[in-house]
Amino acid sequence: MTKKEQAGSKSIAVNIQDARNAWGDDTKKFIGREKSLSNKIKTSDRLFRMGDDLLGNAGADMYGIILEFGYAKYFYGDRRYTPGEISNPYCTMSSLNPDEKTWVPFESSEKVQATKCFACKHNKFGTAENGKGKACTDKRRLVLLVADSLKKQSALDISNVDLSVLEIPPTGIKNWASYLKYMTDGEGLPPYAFVTRFTFDPTSSKEIVQYEAHSIITAPSAVDKIKACLTVAGELACKEYQYSSADAEEEIKDTKPSKKKLAKKKLAKKKAKK
């Protein structure tokens, strides 16, 4: 380390080796964590992507271990998807607790809509601009270890795999709930006991994710490594999400009016003028 100030940090004039000896292995649990928290898996165009890279078989599938999941809500209000522009939600929430009555918006939300999500007027079915859904979008946030190598059951290696986030929109929650029930109630195992293959529903034009139990993890070394990730995974599952411009564009697509809806509105306006 030098005494020069670098981006967002300042070096301290000490015997750094003495400090390293004093703290031992504690540093390891922080290495790469901030980077891993920003790894969001995108599903636009029915392709699994990490950044600009396609995952799995040319983006058509991917293999991962589900470490944890959380509940998330996003209210965009009058903000709409515009290519190339950032349009973040007014109000957001995320939690590990399945009890909706305990959910409260993040205080740092741009415009908090209610003291509790349960009582918010935007949390009622039928308030969405399109369809019968809610104006405040419900999602599930899955925290994963994703790697193509996981499909090789005989060579499970997660030593250099970062945590990733996959957010499931309302249209995909039913599939996720069914798969979770299969793992926990059907097999009597937690989600992270499986290597899961993720694909898209071939019968839908939307980005609806399907799940398939590819293999069950039993190797002691892999079990230990997975358990070591669970605390950080839990923190990420309920962490306030920080958007990039690309994330914002993808997230808000769910609220974009359909072409049919827009056409109907235009026709209604014309008739009203007559």
| Other CB atoms within 10 Å distance of the CB of residue 216 | 12
Instruction: Tell whether 15 is covered by a domain.
Output: no
**Tokens standing for 34?**
């901030």
Place of tokens 């959910």: 103
**Burial zone of 26 (CB within 10 Å; 0-12 exposed, 13-18 middle, 19+ buried):** exposed
Residue 149, helix vs strand vs coil: helix
Which residues lie closer than 8 Å to 219 by C-beta, 6 or more apart? 156
Task: Determine the structural domain holding residue 182 and report its residue range.
Answer: 31-255
Residue 17 resides in a domain: no
pLDDT at position 146 is 86
Structural domain includes residue 44: yes
What number of CA atoms fall less than 13 Å from residue 65's CA on the CB side? 29
In a domain, 217, yes or no: yes
Beta bridge partners of 50: 41, 53
What's the total number of domains in the chain?
Answer: 1
Q: So what's the pLDDT on residue 241?
A: 57
Q: Does some domain include residue 216?
A: yes
pLDDT of 248 reads 45
Strands (E), 111-223: 136-146, 163-168, 194-200, 209-216
The per-residue pLDDT for 162 is 78
Taking phi over 0 as left and psi of -120 to 50 as alpha, with beta for the rest, 22 belongs to: alpha
Distances (CA, A) of 105 to 70, 90, 97: 14, 10, 14
Q: Which residue shows structure tokens 């901030």? A: 34
- Helices then strands, counting H and E runs in the chain, come out as 6, 11
pTM for this structure? 0.72
Q: How many residues does the chain have?
A: 274
Per-residue confidence (pLDDT) for residue 139, from 0 to 100:
94
| Separation CA 211–CA 202 (nearest Å) | 13
pLDDT of residue 159: 64
| pLDDT score at 12 | 45
Residue 2 lies in a domain: no
- Provide the β-strand partners of residue 163: 145
In a domain, 13, yes or no: no
Q: Give the whole-angstrom CA distance, residue 62 versus residue 148.
A: 7
pLDDT at position 118: 92
| Tens digit of each residue's pLDDT (9 = 90 or more) over 64-115 | 999 999 999 999 888 865 555 567 889 999 999 999 999 999 988 889 999 9
Residue 272 lies in a domain: no
| Mean pLDDT per 10-residue interval, the chain, length 274 residues | 40 57 64 53 87 84 93 88 66 92 91 93 90 90 84 62 88 93 90 92 90 88 87 88 51 47 51 54
Distance (Å, whole) CA 172 – CA 127: 19
